[in-house]
């Protein structure tokens, strides 16, 4: 049952398993997806996040026996669907990026506006105050 339940993950990843016995007959099973050797698929951080189940051995066996309808099967299917969506979005972004490159090269560069000379851009000089007047800033 375990291998059959993990087949959807094994099609994309290499898997590591860790089993730890806990108190009162509890078992913690941790499944660690990793990039499969030789695979072109580059998994995202969320895809390779470990899956951990803590229950009794009988409960884990019963859950795995449910196959795709069990919690592990649903989690695997959800992760696969999300990974497929990420791949589709990357492909669409790459297509848009590739399509935008020729268009950007075809458009002529916008003409630059001439920069005004420093002499012409200075504000006009204020008239000098007469002998008895106080200079004003306004």
How many Å apart are CA 118 and CA 28, to the nearest integer? 75
Q: Would residue 118 count as lying in a domain?
A: no
Domain with 31, as residue range(s), is: 2-102
Q: Would residue 24 count as lying in a domain?
A: yes
Residue of 2, 5, 4 lying closest to 19 (CA atoms): 2
pLDDT above 60: residue 100 = yes
Q: Would residue 22 count as lying in a domain?
A: yes
How large is the average pLDDT for residues 21-42? Answer: 85
Residue of 37, 41, 28 lying closest to 79 (CA atoms): 41
Dihedral of the alpha carbons of 59, 48, 34, 29, in degrees to the nearest 10: -20
| Highest mean predicted confidence (pLDDT) among 39-43, 62-66, 107-111 | 62-66
Residue of 48, 50, 60, 56 lying closest to 12 (CA atoms): 48
SS3 content of the chain, % helix, strand, coil (to 5): 45, 20, 35
pLDDT above 70: residue 32 = yes
CB atoms within 10 A of CB 114: 6
Q: Would residue 29 count as lying in a domain?
A: yes
pLDDT of residue 120: 55
Could you give phi then psi for residue 96, rounded to 5 degrees?
-65, -40
Q: Would residue 124 count as lying in a domain?
A: no
How many domains, in total, are found in the chain?
Answer: 1
pLDDT above 60: residue 34 = yes
Q: How far is CA 8 from CA 2, 4, 90, in A?
A: 12, 8, 22
Q: Would residue 138 count as lying in a domain?
A: no
pLDDT of residue 13: 80
* pTM for this predicted structure: 0.55
Q: Would residue 114 count as lying in a domain?
A: no
Q: Would residue 55 count as lying in a domain?
A: yes
pLDDT above 90: residue 19 = yes
């Amino acid at each position: 049952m375990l291998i059959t339940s993990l087949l959807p993950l094994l099609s994309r990843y290499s898997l590591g398993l860790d089993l730890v016995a806990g108190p009162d007959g509890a078992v913690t099973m941790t499944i660690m997806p990793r990039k499969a050797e030789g695979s072109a698929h580059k998994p995202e951080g969320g895809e390779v996040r470990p899956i951990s189940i803590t229950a009794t051995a009988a409960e884990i066996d019963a859950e795995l026996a449910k196959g795709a309808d069990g919690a592990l099967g649903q989690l695997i299917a959800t992760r696969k669907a999300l990974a497929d969506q990420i791949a589709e979005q990357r492909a669409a972004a790459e297509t848009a990026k590739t399509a935008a490159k020729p268009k950007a090269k075809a458009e002529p560069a916008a003409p630059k506006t001439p920069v005004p000379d420093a002499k012409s851009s200075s504000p006009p000089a204020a008239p000098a105050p007469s002998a008895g007047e106080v200079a004003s800033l306004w």
